[in-house]
A = this chain, B = another copy of it.
Amino acid sequence: MSLLVTGSIGIDTVETPSGKVEGVLGGSAVYFAAAASFFTPVRFVAVAGEDMPPKFLSPLERLGNIDLSGLEIRKGSKTFRWAGRYHADVNVRDTLDTQLNVLAEAGPSIPAAFRDSRHVFLANTHPDLQAELLSQLRGPRLVVADTMNLWIENERQALLRLMGSIDGLVLNDSEARLLTGLTNTVAAGKAVAGLVRRFVVVKKGEHGSLLFVDGKVCALPAYPAVNVVDPTGAGDCFAGAMMGYLAAAGTYDAQSLLAGMAYGTIVASLELEGFSLEHLQVIRRGDIEDRFAEFVAMTRICPSVQAEKL
């Protein structure tokens, strides 16, 4: 079933211990859409400037399952740019440059043909803009949003308003703690879950993820990745594969959400094996399924003896 993503498209420059790329395709909506496209058709809504290089979109076009008619190329505006450098420990990075450019202007409009989308992901932007985009949709079945420290600190009321109108929120562990003032990540996740309609997914990067839904907690480790070339976009790919799986499944119970998170874990682990969309260009759905099956096997607890003393 239909999946809509609103978010950023950007021009990234990234340096990691594995190398450096300049002026490559990036942005939350880009990574999300690429990951989701393995599971379901994706409707893409974002704004770029007229400086966007020719053929810049070809990696997204080649994935073949992404409707780019919601991408506005705004005359006289410049595309969002981001530059970052990862440390030897790739879990740590420095942002070298951020040029919001068109992201600081008015947001995109959702095309009429997209307004019946049943599944919606509002990637990170100002919560008032997320709410405004949501208001353009007619009766979506599942609405999930991402956010960031900036809005938690500076736009808390707007964020809390948005949270009251969405089914699920995806955020990092540090963001969950910041939002609640709690130092225990599990307690923070539970508290955040009380602020949205149904569920919260807490992403912990290399340490996996937690799900808070229907008063329950579920937990997944990360896929034990060795070949980390560039972690940029891994969190967006996690959300993209999760939402793509859910849109294809059409069910949102706790078991489906956890399975979606497992697919998110796997696609994120594949994405970070290359810069930008490099690696997602060369893999196929079968590669995802192979690693998913491996992941299920490597995390499945099967006691070989029963509790004899019960």
Contacts and interface: CB of A to CB of B under 8 A. Distances in A.
Interface in A257-310: 258-259, 262, 285-286, 289, 292, 295-296, 298-305, 307-310
Interface stretch (A23-31, A48-56, A116-124, A221-229): A221-229
Given A184-B228, A186-B225, A301 B299 contact: yes
A204 to B, nearest CB: 7
Contact of A219 (B217, B222, B285): B222
Interface stretch (A95-103, A132-140, A205-213): A205-213
A264 to B, nearest CB: 11
A219 B210 contact: no
A249 interface: yes
A66 to B, nearest CB: 15
Interface in A53-78: none
A295 B299 contact: no
Contacts of A245: 303
Interface string A247-263: 01101010110110010
A84 B95 CA distance: 36
